[in-house]
Amino acid sequence: MTDIKITEVALRDGSHAIRHQYTVDQVRSIAKALNEARVPYIEVSHGDGLGGSTLQYGLSKTNELELVEAAVDAVDFSKIAVLLIPGIGTIEDLKEAEKLGAKMARIATHVTEADVSAQHIQTAKELGMETVGFLMMSHMAPTEKLVEQAKLMESYGADIVYVVDSAGALLPHEVRARIKALKHELSCDIGFHGHNNLSLAMGNSLAAIEEGANRIDGSIRCLGAGAGNTQTEALIAVLDRMGITTGIDLYKMMDIAEEIVAPILPKPQEITRDSLTLGYAGVYSSFLLHANRASEKFGIDSRDILIELGERKIVGGQEDMIIDVAAELASQKANV
């Protein structure tokens, strides 16, 4: 079985879990330790990617480019990656990150909107960056549509295309079908990014690997949006048991999780009733904190808000709809 390259996403996806409050010292400390553990890629950005620090998505405590710079300065083996969602981040943001030393660009779009990534993928390639096409909310498109969109990203120059289970809604057989189809139709590397809202992040990651994915995202201590991502240190242990090489030091990752990451968590990363509802309803994992705030403001069960968002097929970039939905449900409740 092919060796697996891991991208550690705690310094990007994990930003959601701590309300985008990372400090330079925290990022430097975590990146330095991950580098010593020989993690090949470390993603550093606002939870919603470059340019994400806004009132709509959540304000960062520290300018994300300062965090990128701190991470770059802390490593001599690992490559620093950044996420960019066209429409949130810009090509200029990407160029600034590259100037600071970022080596990988992960260009993310909704699963049916790969065409908006063309300029950003092409620019990243021109800058000499390893480039990823990141198809978010992959559960919302049939396999045939996913293949079509992945081919577009590959045609723009993507070195890797990811199936991204942003809602943690995919079941293992659905992951298998998607990865198998991409492996058959594309010549570039194939990746998988899971969320644990249905307690399937590990199982889905293994299903992806068994169908030929060779790039897998993990988050140390499971730190990520919703119920978090595939837990990196556990993933490395499982892959080692399977005889699959990652090149990452398992003991060091365990120590980083326990001694460096755990102390900064506001609460343990676990499957709560709200994060479980995200996966059940097929709702973007980063909506969790926004739905909780709307729940408190309007006195509506957050699960009802999330279920309604799922029924309306609301996607990333439509965070303003969370307030609208909560207000509508409150109005309906008052009129009963």
Residues annotated as catalytic (active site), given as ranges = 16
| 13 annotated among ligand-binding-site residues | yes
90-101 core/surface letters (b: 16 or more CB in 10 A; e: else): eeebbebbbebe
| 28 annotated among ligand-binding-site residues | no
Reduce the DSSP state of residue 304 to 3 states and report it: helix
Q: Kindly report the CA angle at 34 between 28 and 39, in degrees rounded to 5?
A: 135
Tokens of 29: 């400390």
Give the C-alpha separation, 280 to 311, whole Å.
11
Distances (CA, A) of 100 to 131, 150, 292: 17, 29, 35
Q: Hey, how many other C-beta atoms are within 10 angstroms of the C-beta on 55?
A: 7
180-215 core/surface letters (b: 16 or more CB in 10 A; e: else): bbbbebbebbbbbbbbbbbebbbbbbbbbbebebbb
Give the C-alpha separation, 16 to 43, whole Å.
14
| 195 annotated among ligand-binding-site residues | yes
| 12 annotated among ligand-binding-site residues | yes
Are the CB atoms for 300 and 308 separated by under 8 Å? no
Give the C-alpha separation, 61 to 53, whole Å.
9
Alpha carbon of residue 286 to chain centroid: 9
| 120 annotated among ligand-binding-site residues | no
| 193 annotated among ligand-binding-site residues | yes
- State the Cα torsion 161-165-166-169 to the nearest 10°: 160
Q: Give the pairing of strands 189-193 and 79-84.
A: unpaired
| 6: β partners | 216
Which residues are documented as binding site?
Answer: 12-13, 166, 193, 195, 284
Which residues are documented as binding site for Mn(2+)?
Answer: 13, 193, 195
Which residues are documented as binding site for substrate?
Answer: 12-13, 166, 193, 284
